[in-house]
Chain A
Amino acid sequence: MPKVTIDEQTLEVEAGSTVLQGARRLGIDIPTFCYLKRLPPLASCRMCLVEIEGQRKLQPSCATAVTDGMVVRTNTPLIDETRSSMLDMLLANHPLDCPICDKGGECELQDMVMAYGPRRSEFHDPKRVFHSRDIRLSPVIIMNVNRCIQCQRCVRMCEEVVGAVALGTVEKGMDTAVTGFEGSLASCDQCGNCVEVCPVGALMSFPYRYKARPWDLAETDTICPHCGTGCQLTVGARKGEFMRVRSKQEHGVNRETLCVRGRFGLDFIESRDRIKRPMIRRDGVLVPVSWDEAGDYLRRRLSTVTNKAAGGLASPRLPNEVLYQFQKLMRTVFRTNDIDCSSRWSMPFDTLGPLLTAFYSRAPLDEVIGNNCVLVVGGNVTEENPVTEYLLRDGARRRQTGLLMLSARPSRLDADARVVVRVPPGGEAVSIAAVVAGLVAAAGEALSGDALATIEAKIGRPVVNAGGDGPARLAAALKDAHSVTVLVSVDLLRSPEARATLQQLNNLLQVLRLLDKGLAIQFLFDRANQMGAWDMGVLPAALPGLRAVADGAVRTALARNWGAEIPSEPGADLDAMLDLCVGGRMGALYIAGTDPLISYPDRAFVQRALGATDLLIVQDAFLTDTAGLAEVVLPAAGYGEESGTFTNNEGRTQKVRKFREPAFEARGNLAIFDFVAALRNQALRPSTQGEIFDEIARLVPAYQGLTQDGLGADGAFTKAVPTPPAGEFFAPPPALKETGRLMLITGDGLFHNGYLSERSEILNTVANDPYVAMSAQDTAQLGLSDGEQVIVRSAQGELTAQLKVDRRFPKGLVFVPENYRALRLNSLMRRGEYPCPVEVQKVHAALEVDRTSRIWRGV
């Protein structure tokens, strides 16, 4: 390792380290503008110039690799003068309009001038003025070109990290300006990472514009509520009023980046459909009542339904403590294991459980992406987990990670992938089976005769080339890798084929393990605390710690700790609960923080089921569609109104912090559980968030040893408790039937991923209209053209939306994003049928709705 001496201090650094990195490790401050930690150096701002012994000129420390014995000085008069001179030049044409600049008080240029700048300027000539007005690049991004110092962080962030390539640089020299195509960013991701990295007030957040001075904001570091990536962010509020989100810290999985949902989608907390007071249904309508009245009513009603089943459904967006307490409430007070944590699907836990316990790697994404090959299965990671996608792109572009994509939906990441396998809608299981077969065939000698015999006994002679040469190429890449990470999109779980897909994934992982590959698997959840929800045992067949309900020892231990019996039979999952409802056998159904009426893929059915439930209790912050059907509605704290922890896709547990009190008469979820338990004359102990966390850390194996204080800036990792895989192989699924029909699949789009994003006014503005995406081939055949309104019709219903022709789409695939409320997408779907066969046709011209008011056109 080379040694370098910087300002008389000597340090050993890793080969290839730069002088800047070395200096920062020594705590020596070297000013920078153009430097972006995650990207190769640009070395254009020249702020970081240092003296290196033996070099004629000053050298940019950001781009100079340390060589052994190098002697560097960063504190000489020449360097002081040079830094001051660079700042002097930057200020010459800078408007110096700090008093009205949103960046004032947190501007890097301001800070740098204070620290290193000239005390006065000799510049007396007229300043350059590009534009007298700021340019509204998009609904959320506004640009003041005059303030730009050309560090290019924004453009590089957009192109190299986010991959959107929406921002660019036009003109040259002094006329250089950062902007979007023809001055607009209307079609960008709106992630605002460009705004975040802008050191000055050039790129600014429009929603935050002129709203506050940074020093008036109370800032709270917390975790994004939107998807399972679990990005860290900082909420700025003024007197409890939400102002903005920043991601200014290099912490967590996201290290300063966010996606549009995280950065601009938190205004849902100000949504107008907050439930203000408890409500009970009287004469068919919900009427507000006091907590006491609601309690009396509920006590009475609960006692009338004890002869029937009880069930609980909680949102995987609630904190661990709330989820843990919810299952405890259901199990010990309602005495049922009929609980689930998804309003969209029921997962085959018998298959998933062993896969999770045997293979799930609770490790930083950054680390698992460093593996040789990363196989991304299903979904569209670009839109579902954008920040995860940034890291994957980084792996492919800068760390030689071989990306292998296998999905029905194309994504932007495909462009950086080594192999892309486009599977027909619903064809994941078949394709993975083909990959397994290809891998077994390619592995040859590498698999022992015994292993080969076991595999062949189950999966038969490998049929290579089933489904084109994609699976074979993918298998070849896997064979050559020494370590493999598999990232699985949860959209696989929504299909009736979920079990088969998971079985094939299991086969794949087992073969890879037999081949001695370094292995990691993680899910790409689209809900912030799905991992936590599973870990907390909000599952009919699993207790906290993903341990089977059937396991008597575990049950007994938990029961002892909880001071109450736990029913011994595995309970009903969401599907089974709905069946109970429809059959008139469900007494009380307790739904916390989730809205099946909007998200369960069969609206008509779920409506019937909920309607046939004796007592529907909904506890939520928002008056959801489901709450609209409830008999008792309990107003709960929303995001930001209660503290707790989330466990993200990586298995990283992080603190979600409260930044204001529950609005109106809402109460914390934990307090409401206490309230309900008390109605049944029971008490849930412990009952505060901190104590519950400690209990989790005591009783849930993966969380053992975690402490609240230990959840530092980067959170803390839960630890996998690996159980050896069962070694079981599953038979391949039957080949996919060619229906020749258009098949609808649904999923998250970039701007919406659930009932929170739906309530964000900003996201609704940037998201424009809902759309239907289809291949160029299909649309040409149907005589449809890009941008026109089309009708998508299934056996159950129909919807109208704008057509987006996507050249990358495979034939036969129709995609409609979820959570565009107006669409009621789930009314097209029929239970158990996914992907859903549809027809697509033109809307009669006369019927075309006037959409103009909803499309953002810039100014």
Chain B
Amino acid sequence: MTMREKIEEAAARYPDQRSAIMPALLIAQRERGHLPGPVLEEVADILGVERIWVYELATFYTLFHTEPVGTFHLQLCDNVSCMLCGSEDLLKHLETVLGIMKGDTTPDGLFTLCTVECLGACEMAPVMQVGDDYHGALDVARMDALLDSLRATAGRVASVEHASARPPGE
């Protein structure tokens, strides 16, 4: 399906096109990687809604990115439960091994490092989301292993965003 078709299909679930802006942005972000102005315009045009509405949502919600992110978006939870279980040290570790600060992307475009609010998986704190997947009970060793395995997949798939666009039911 084209992006337009996917968006139109999602929009059919609502009595009002404006409701479909969020789903449409999620679809567009999966298709295009991130959401620069022209993509927002495209979404607005497909749905026939005001552009500013699309812009408002694209910036209000943290999962939408108007700027490009790396192939692997490392989103480390640093909320209370994860903090209590050592996420601060993990962040320092990540900053050291990746050579970037939180919020930045590695020069090879592979990793973007961010901290996020509670991921709702505190039973496995500290937790990090990469793409669609949660990785829990992390410590320095597990984190290193995870980075290694991510680097290994990077050779195989161009973008984890596409890789994870699997059909329902995994």
Contact = CB atoms under 8 A, between A and B. Distances in A.
B52 A166 contact: yes
Interface stretch (A70-78, A169-177, A220-228): A169-177
Contacts of A166: 52
B111 interface: no
Nearest to B48: A807
A850 interface: no
B50 interface: yes
B53 A169 contact: no
B60 A168 contact: no
Contacts of B60: 170-172
B53 A165 contact: yes
B53 A168 contact: yes
A167 B52 contact: yes
Contacts of A181: 37, 40, 51-52, 55
A216 interface: no
Contacts of B37: 181-182
Contacts of B132: none
B115 to A, nearest CB: 16
Nearest to B36: A182
Interface in A30-81: none
B153 interface: no
Interface residues of B, number: 10
Contacts of A165: 50, 52-53
Contacts of B50: 165
B59 A171 contact: yes
A165 B53 CA distance: 8
B51 A170 contact: no
Q: How large is the interface on A (under 10, 10 to 19, 20 to 34, 35 or more residues)?
A: 10 to 19
A593 interface: no
A180 interface: yes
Contacts of B56: 168-170
Contacts of A172: 59-60
A165 B50 CA distance: 7
A606 B24 CA distance: 56
B48 to A, nearest CB: 9
A385 B51 CA distance: 25
A635 B140 CA distance: 87
Interface string B25-55: 0000000000001001000000000111101
A182 B39 CA distance: 12
Interface in A142-182: 165-172, 180-182
A840 B52 CA distance: 33
Contacts of A182: 37, 40, 55
A170 B51 CA distance: 12
B40 to A, nearest CB: 8
Most buried by A among B40, B53, B55: B55
Contacts of B53: 165, 168
Contacts of A171: 59-60
Contacts of B51: 181
A258 to B, nearest CB: 22
A169 B58 CA distance: 11
A167 B51 CA distance: 10
B47 to A, nearest CB: 14
A165 B56 CA distance: 12
A180 B52 contact: yes
Interface in B58-113: 59-60
A542 B45 CA distance: 53
A169 B52 CA distance: 8
A289 B40 CA distance: 62
A171 B57 CA distance: 8
B159 to A, nearest CB: 25
B51 to A, nearest CB: 4
Interface string A174-211: 00000011100000000000000000000000000000
Q: Which of A166, A168, A169 has the most CB of B within 10 A?
A: A168
A172 B117 CA distance: 15
B54 to A, nearest CB: 8
A180 B51 CA distance: 9
Contacts of B40: 181-182
A181 B36 CA distance: 12
Nearest to B38: A182
A559 B40 CA distance: 69
Nearest to A182: B37
A182 B53 CA distance: 11
A413 to B, nearest CB: 16
A182 B51 CA distance: 9
A166 B55 CA distance: 11
A289 B38 CA distance: 60
A765 to B, nearest CB: 22
B52 to A, nearest CB: 4
A182 to B, nearest CB: 5
Nearest to B41: A181
A213 B157 CA distance: 62
Contacts of A169: 56
Nearest to B49: A165
Contacts of A167: 52
B95 to A, nearest CB: 23
A171 B59 CA distance: 5
Contacts of B55: 168, 170, 181-182
A182 B60 CA distance: 14
Nearest to B59: A170
B155 to A, nearest CB: 36
A210 to B, nearest CB: 28
A165 B18 CA distance: 13
B53 to A, nearest CB: 7
A182 B59 CA distance: 11
Contacts of A180: 52
The winner among A165, A166, A181 for most chain B CB atoms within 10 A is A181
A170 B62 CA distance: 12
A857 to B, nearest CB: 15
A167 B50 CA distance: 10
B60 to A, nearest CB: 5
Nearest to B51: A181
A172 B64 CA distance: 13
Contacts of A170: 55-56, 59-60
Given A169-B56, A170-B59, 9 more contacts: A165-B52, A168-B53, A168-B55, A168-B56, A170-B60, A172-B60, A181-B51, A181-B52, A182-B40
Interface of A: 165-172, 180-182
11 contacts: A165-B50, A165-B52, A168-B56, A171-B59, A171-B60, A172-B59, A172-B60, A181-B40, A181-B52, A181-B55, A182-B37
The 8 closest A-B pairs by CB, nearest first: A168-B52, A170-B59, A165-B50, A181-B51, A168-B56, A182-B37, A181-B52, A171-B59
